[in-house]
A and B are shown apart, each in its own frame.
Chain A
């Protein structure tokens, strides 16, 4: 696989995922981008270690999904399988625990752990809103 820096240079201005707005930082819709910002740090396309946390709705079921990049060499060229999704528990304690385990303990972007926890909280509150509206 090409070097992350090189890929970033190719992709930072020229990507179908980039979304631009006036007076707003440049954002991306690519999978595996934690903040959705078009940054080398957060890039889901360019880096070897990728971290994404999203909500997923399948029918009525809402789930929180963590996206990481497989480390196996053989998987790097397989677009369908290279990004690994893990469901995150919705329990108040269990969810953050799980995140800490996956991100922090296995050195998979530990610097993003805080941000991931924050996003987790936000996703959870977004689920709550839906429930009250249902009434």
Chain B
């Protein structure tokens, strides 16, 4: 968001339809949205409140059982010693034995808690705060905010001095949270699962989170309203800002708290005054609006013109399709037509062909008459060559015979 910071109105807690002032939005609320980071940090942070559970260390092994070894027609598993009870001779130890220990007993020294880097935690909180300022995300998380005047919702400081729950409820309803509060009340149901027998009988949805700066009674006023939670600005908890790992909690700020956000987190340039060595996260992309980037003049002016997509129709074979042949080889149909006609008697093409043929034959005859006469006829030249060869062969034979006679002598 390189644009100027939007201005947020502050609503009068007594009369929420009127505004008591405005404030520029703190830079925290414009942090980049990182659902993956929030999910990851929440996952690890949520493990930190766990209480250990395990089976007793001796579970299943508190007998003097020993194996009977071989030779007694029983399996070799350790058996309980002694006599006089059913228990004697029964299998013991081993996960397969009745009354034996479990496979891989759960231990207390399981790594229950997770360390999360401080910077990561801070980034996650910043991100969750930013998400709480965006209506689509808050809606998507399931909060009913259609009656809410504005997000982020900032209320004048008077609300911090509320002492009565009745008043607090009235104020929230006037601020437009009525639907949300009703949603929480309607959602109360008995928990599915064993939790109901373990002092966790009911479940209900979460409502708004009220973030205050000075507690002059507000926590006590708000705490009995189903779904409403309170938090001090200095001590924001990701587990409350992004319950279940999903960011976009409906948050109500008091004026003092909203102001303090700037004091705590500062800006990207200044760093966070109240958090040593910490600067708010920077977005990987300053402008994530892809549509705008693509359609911007800077990009459009440098693009080459859109290529004509060559869409292949059905492939045609030029040798079979006369149309295609004509396209590729103009004049081929004409030539073919001429060729056909030239074998039909009576057409001028036929006469053409015959004329040419005659001329050719005439030429040939003329040539032969001139050049192939007397001794130059085919037959004569053939015989001449033959006789020449025959004479040569005869001479060769005679020469060989003479040589043989000489050798014999």
Contacts and interface: CB of A to CB of B under 8 A. Distances in A.
Q: Do A and B come from one complex?
A: yes
Interface in A13-67: 14-17, 30, 45-46
Contacts of A10: 33, 35, 131, 137, 140, 247
A77 B1 CA distance: 15
Nearest to A1: B134
Interface string B109-145: 0000000000000000000000101111111111001
Nearest to B283: A6
Contacts of A14: 35, 140, 246
Interface in B312-335: none
Interface in B240-278: 246-247
Interface stretch (A78-86, A87-95, A112-120, A125-133): A78-86
Contact of A7 (B134, B142, B148, B287): B134
A4 B291 contact: yes
A11 interface: yes
B136 A7 contact: yes
Interface of B is mostly: loop
A44 to B, nearest CB: 8
Nearest to B290: A5
A103 to B, nearest CB: 19
A80 B176 contact: yes
Contacts of B131: 10
Contacts of A105: none
A11 B141 CA distance: 9
Contacts of B8: 77
A78 B136 contact: no
A6 B139 contact: no
A38 B67 CA distance: 63
B146 interface: yes
Contacts of B239: none
A16 B135 contact: no
Given A79-B145, A80-B146, A3 B140 contact: no
Interface string B8-48: 10000000000000000000000001010000000000000
Contacts of A7: 33, 134, 136-137
Contacts of B247: 10
Nearest to A83: B146
A23 B142 CA distance: 25
A5 B136 CA distance: 13
Contacts of B142: 16
Interface in B140-158: 140-142, 145-152
B305 interface: no
Interface string A67-81: 000000100111110
B288 A82 contact: no
B6 interface: yes
A78 B150 contact: yes
Given A77-B151, A80-B147, A6 B140 contact: no
A10 B34 CA distance: 8
B289 interface: yes
A14 B39 CA distance: 12
Given A2-B33, A78-B151, 19 more contacts: A1-B134, A3-B288, A3-B290, A5-B288, A10-B33, A10-B247, A11-B137, A15-B141, A30-B140, A73-B6, A76-B135, A77-B133, A77-B150, A77-B152, A79-B135, A79-B138, A79-B151, A80-B147, A82-B135
Interface of A: 1-7, 9-11, 14-17, 30, 45-46, 73, 76-80, 82
Interface of B: 1, 6, 8, 33, 35, 131, 133-142, 145-152, 176, 246-247, 287-292
15 contacts: A1-B134, A2-B1, A2-B288, A3-B292, A5-B289, A10-B33, A11-B137, A16-B142, A46-B136, A77-B150, A78-B149, A78-B151, A79-B138, A80-B146, A80-B147
